[in-house]
Each structure stands twice: as structure tokens, then as C-alpha cells.
Amino acid sequence: MSEGLILRGRALAALYGRIPSYHVSLNLGSPLSPLDLESRLQAAVHTRRTFAIISHPDAGKTTLTEKLLLYGGAIHLAGSVKSRRAARHATSDWMKLEQERGISVTSSVMQFQYDGFNINLLDTPGHEDFSEDTYRTLVAADSAVMLLDNRKGVEDRTRQLFSVCKRRRIPIFTFVNKCDRVGEDPLKLLSDVEADLDIACHPITWPIHKDNAFVGVYDRRRQLVSLFERADDHGASRAAVQVSSLHDPALADLIGSESHHRLIQDISLLDEAGHPFDEEKVTSGELSPVFFGSALTNFGVEPFLREFLELAPEPAPRESSLGVVQPNDEQFTGFVFKIQANMDARHRDRVAFVRICSGRFEAGMQVKHVRTGKSIRLASPQQFLARERTAVEEAWPGDVIGVMDRGTLRIGDTLSEASDLEFSGIPRFAPEHFARVVIGDPMKRKQLDSGLRQLTEEGAAQVFFTSGTETSGPTPIVGAVGMLQFDVMLHRLEHEYGAMCRLERITARYPRWVTGPVAEIERIARDRGRMLLYDAKGNPLILFEDSWGLRWALERETSVTFHEVAP
């Protein structure tokens, strides 16, 4: 065997030019001169990567997230997300309900460093019932990793999330997962992805098989082969790797002459007939760099992480009411894209997640809350590894920070150091399912009202009432985008607020907010198969029992205006 074939440990790190590390807190907080601020701001923007992972349920998104944390040095032992007998749970699934069901029901923020890059990884729920939370998180991301099952390729949920990314022109990177199992031929899979999603694909890594088993990947940019060794810990630790040149004579002995010949043929075909790499097309979302691997076994994960961080975009400019905000603008700006209560159940806290768009954030700084016009102090800023927190003194464009909130902030709020600019709002979807909330113990009504108010402000539920003057009627009505949201509501009301409830489903499921003369709205709502409700802000909404009744009203009622989202 040639001496250059096997490189391990520090030799491998030297070859790739990095040694992984993990730091979340940058303790810098002293005043900066304008020249120092400009220099550090540019350096911070250059090293930030903020991205979300999107996929169909069960494609392995939470597992991949866990393994990226493992290779980034943020955790030392990856948690099992499959075995019910596992001693640990996935880091990103911090809610008790997530751990019990083995699914992600809320977005998580994971921050760590790798090879000089500061990474903000936004893990999103894969289940379609939590689409709204996923879409809000995508607004805060600069790029997205689309995760595919190598046996199934593009699935329904993948198409939905891909279309959202494409509308926002978010660069999309593709990771074909579960290559440790027999799946579609890689060339056919790429062809199917291009035809289904109307996007060109450029493989960065390519799978290597030996006796039909997935054993490694070929990195086309670095022209290196990485062969992995399967460990006995089910992927809990980093996989040992052997690195070689594609044309090293010893490689054919390791993977077999037939596999070696096919690999060379595949690479030649991709070089001659495949889409060439074009950075501008990647940035515009027209070309997707593709990677192959197995998050379960860790095969191909580190080559993906290394290449992705080099190719992924820096924090992007943001549209605002006063024009484009560049990330290297010295004035601090940011927006709230998520609110989460009770991350620390002992203290009943409420954290607002802020995506920084420009400037330098300093702990305790005074900023303008643009919606109210008031000045507020952003105290106790934190960065996250899911539920775990680390205090920070400063943060930069692309970073996500959590600030303690007492109910002042809402999803979509803009925070600015000086100006009145506002970033475009975060969409709020109309519910598709409705139910009356019936509390088990009437003495717990105050806890119920508190829980519903908090879940509404988080965006985890939408609450409606039958009167516009009362915000706590005898039977509140909750709306959800997906049925599984109801389960989460009931679980959180019981375990976080002590209000055990049950739901009585309402058959009507076609809502429209409506604006116009009050008398006309009330007249229209009195027809059969309709119900007049008011949201938490007092906006009227008519709930139609069937689609025919909705179409009839849209075509004939001209005295009012119907809206699919809250006005």
C-alpha cells in the first residue's frame, strides 16, 4: 500500500487546512474606533454562515443536524434519534414532546464554529403541520440545505419548501442522505431532481461503493477520495477516514477494480456532460451543488460541511422600507423571527430570537422598537445550542441572538439602532383546522388564557373569539395549519401552564379575514354555514363551512374585502 494513501488525525486536518473547534461566545464589548469597527464588521460578515435544513419527514434532517454539531466540535457524542431505548436524545429536539415522539415540532437554533466559520444552523420542523414555523425560519436564513432520501428523491414536502426557497431566491444546496442503503442510481436521481424541481444540479461529492456497500465519496473540487470505516457506536462518534487520490494504484485494491473503473467513468461523464459549476447561478438559486452521504454512519458528512461552508453565501443584503440594508452597514438592525416561551420551565422565560441584519450588536444596547416607536434595552443576550444557552457580549450580521422579552416583542418586529426602517413582514398563514377549547377545570381559566395568549404570540397557535370586545370568551376557538399542532397545544397547555383541556372539532375550515362596514360583515356572517370570529387583535374573520359557500361570497359580496391573511 502506498505511503500517501492513508492520512489520519492531524495529517488529514492539515490536508484540509483546518482543525475543528467550538466557541459560541466572543467576549469583546469594548468601544471600537470607526476604522476598527469597519474592519471587524467586514471580517465578521465574511465568516458568517446562516442556513436552514429543509426536507420531507423521515429524510434524516435531525440526524444530519446532530452530525454537523458533532463534526463542528459542538458536541462530543451524537444522540440517537431512532432507538427508543437510547440514553440520549437529539440535541435539536429539546422539547419533551419531541423526545417522546421522535419528531421536531419547533425550530431550533444551533451555533458553533468550524474552520474559522461562525455557523448559525436553523433546524426546522419537517412535518407539514408546522409549515408556518418553517417558513418563518427560512426568512432568517441566507441559504438552505435540501435533504433527500436516496431511495425516494423529491417528495411532496420537499417540493413545498423548495418552492418557498425559490420564490425568495435562496441558494439551495442538496444533500442526498441514506446512501448506506440501496437506493436510486445517483445519475438517475440527479436527473429526476432536475426534472421535478426545474433546477440544475452540480455534484460536488460523488458516492463510492464496494460490493454494493457505500464506503466513501469523491470530492470533485479537491480531487480527493475519502474512504470511511464503519464504527461499532452507530455513528455516535466521527468516522475514521482514509484519503487518497482518484488515480492512486492502491485505491483499486481497496474498493475493487470494478468499482474503481465505474467511479472513474462516472466522474468523466460528469466532467464532460454535467452542468458546470457557476457561483452566480448558485447564488441566484438556479444551480444546486449536490453532496452524497449517510448522516446515520457519518460517511460524507465532513466533506459536505467543509465544502458547503466555502460555497455558501455570506449574510445577504435585506430589503427594507427605506431601501436595501447591507450587512456591513455600521448601524445595527435586526428583526424578530421567532418567540419561544418556557425554554427554561423553572423560570417561565420568554425569548425573542433576533436575526441581525447589519452592524454590531452589543449587550445591553438601546435600540428603537420600530413598531411602537419606543426605545428598548436588549438585555441578557444569548446564543444557543438548541436549549443550551451562552451569554454573549456582541454579535454580528448573520448571527441569531436571543433576548429576554416580557411581552413587548412580536414576530416580524424590526429593531434598529437609529432609523425607522422596517423589514418586510413575516407571512402568517390562515388556519385550516378549527376547534373549541374546553377546559377540564374551570378554576384554571386564568392559566388557559395565559397559555393561549403566549402560544398565539409565539405563532404556535391562532386563537379566535366569538365577540370582538371580549378577548377571553366562554369558549375560545383555536386554529391550526396542521392537526398535529393541536396535540402540541394541548400538551403545552397541560405541562407548561397547568391547564388540562380537550378540543371539540369544528367542521368549518375555510377562513377569510374581512374588512369593510361592520353592519355588512355581520350581515354576511349570518348566512347558513358561516361563523363570525375575531382574532387576538380584534380583526373580524368569517369561517365558511365549505368551499362552495366561500366561492359564492367571494363572487357576490362586493361591499367588503376578503383577505387570505390578516390585514
Q: Where are the domains of the chain?
A: 9-24+51-311, 318-416, 433-563
Residue 109 has pLDDT above 70, yes or no: yes
Helix (H) or strand (E) holding 165: helix 156-167
Band of the pLDDT at 458, cuts 50, 70, 90?
confident
As a 3-state breakdown, the chain gives helix, strand, coil percent values, each rounded to 5, of 30, 30, 40
Residue 6, pLDDT score: 36
The Cβ of residue 87 has, within 10 Å, a number of other Cβ atoms equal to 8
Per residue in 40-54, pLDDT (tens digit) is 999 999 999 999 998
pLDDT at 454: 80
**442 contacts: CB under 8 Å, gap ≥ 6:** none
Closest CA to 177 of 308, 306, 301: 301
Query: Percent of the chain beyond pLDDT 90?
Result: 52
Separation between Cα atoms, residue 421 and residue 404, nearest integer Å: 23
Strands (E), 427-564: 433-439, 462-465, 477-480, 501-506, 510-515, 530-535, 540-544, 561-563
Could you tell me which CATH class the domain 433-563 is placed in?
A: alpha beta
Predicted confidence (pLDDT) per residue in 294-344, tens digit: 999 999 999 999 999 999 999 999 999 999 999 999 999 999 998 887 766
Q: Answer for the pair 453, 437: CB distance below 8 angstroms, yes or no.
A: no
Ramachandran region of residue 524, left (φ > 0), alpha (ψ -120 to 50) or beta? alpha
Q: How far is CA 309 from CA 48, 189, 512, 563, in A?
A: 9, 24, 43, 41
Which of residues 98 and 9 earns the better pLDDT score? Answer: 98
Identify which of 83, 60, 78 has the alpha carbon closest to the alpha carbon of residue 150: 60
Question: What pLDDT does 11 receive?
Answer: 36
Give CA–CA dist 231/243, Å, rounded: 17
Q: Tens digit of pLDDT for each residue in 433-446?
A: 899 999 989 899 99
Buried b (16+ CB within 10 A) or exposed e, 278-307: eeebbbebbbbbbbbbbbbbbbbbbbbbbb
Least confident stretch, 124-138, 393-407, 429-443, 499-513 = 124-138
pLDDT in tens, 525-562: 999 999 999 988 889 999 999 999 999 999 999 999 99
Total residue length of the chain: 567
CA-based torsion, 479, 482, 485, 490: positive or negative: positive
Pick 123 or 492 by higher pLDDT: 492
Distance from C-alpha of 378 to C-alpha of 337, rounded to nearest angstrom: 16
Judged by phi (left if over 0) then psi (alpha if -120 to 50, else beta), residue 563 lies in: beta
Each residue's pLDDT tens digit, 401-414? 999 888 889 889 99
Q: Record the cell numbers describing residue 323, joined without a space.
A: 431601501
CA distance 368 to 376: 6
C-beta separation of 107 from 161 below 8 A: no
Q: What is the mean pLDDT of the chain?
A: 84
Quick check: 473 pLDDT over 70?
Answer: no
Going by pLDDT thresholds of 50, 70 and 90, the confidence category of residue 195 is very high
3-state DSSP of 154-200: CCHHHHHHHHHHHHCCCCEEEEEECCCCCCCCHHHHHHHHHHHHCCE
Task: Give the bridge partners for 504, in sequence order.
Answer: 436
Using alpha carbons only, give the angle 211, 217, 223 rounded to the nearest 5 degrees: 130
Q: Domain 318-416 has what CATH class? A: alpha beta
Strand bridging mode 143-149 / 172-177: parallel
Q: What is the mean pLDDT of residues 86-94?
A: 45
Q: Global pTM?
A: 0.78
Segment holding 327, helix H or strand E? none
Sign of the Cα pseudo-torsion (385, 161, 464, 519, in order): positive
Distance CA 145, CA 528 (A): 47
Q: What pLDDT shows up at residue 453?
A: 84
d(CA 469, CA 465): 9
CA dihedral sign, ordered 254, 257, 262, 263: positive
d(CA 190, CA 207): 13
Q: Do the domains 318-416 and 433-563 sit in the same CATH topology, yes or no? A: no
Place of cell 354576511: 524
**Measured between alpha carbons, how far is 533 from 511 in angstroms, rounded to an integer?**
10
The pLDDT score that the predictor gives to residue 198 is 94
Right CATH for 9-24+51-311 from 3.40.640.10, 2.40.50.220, 2.60.40.10, 3.40.50.300: 3.40.50.300
In 3D, which of 190, 213, 217 has the Cα closest to residue 205?
A: 217
Four-CA torsion 231, 234, 235, 239, nearest 10 degrees = 10
Least reliable range by pLDDT among 262-266, 333-337, 347-351, 363-367: 347-351
Poorest-pLDDT segment among 22-36, 43-57, 109-123, 288-302: 22-36
* Dist. CA 2–CA 544, nearest whole Å: 73
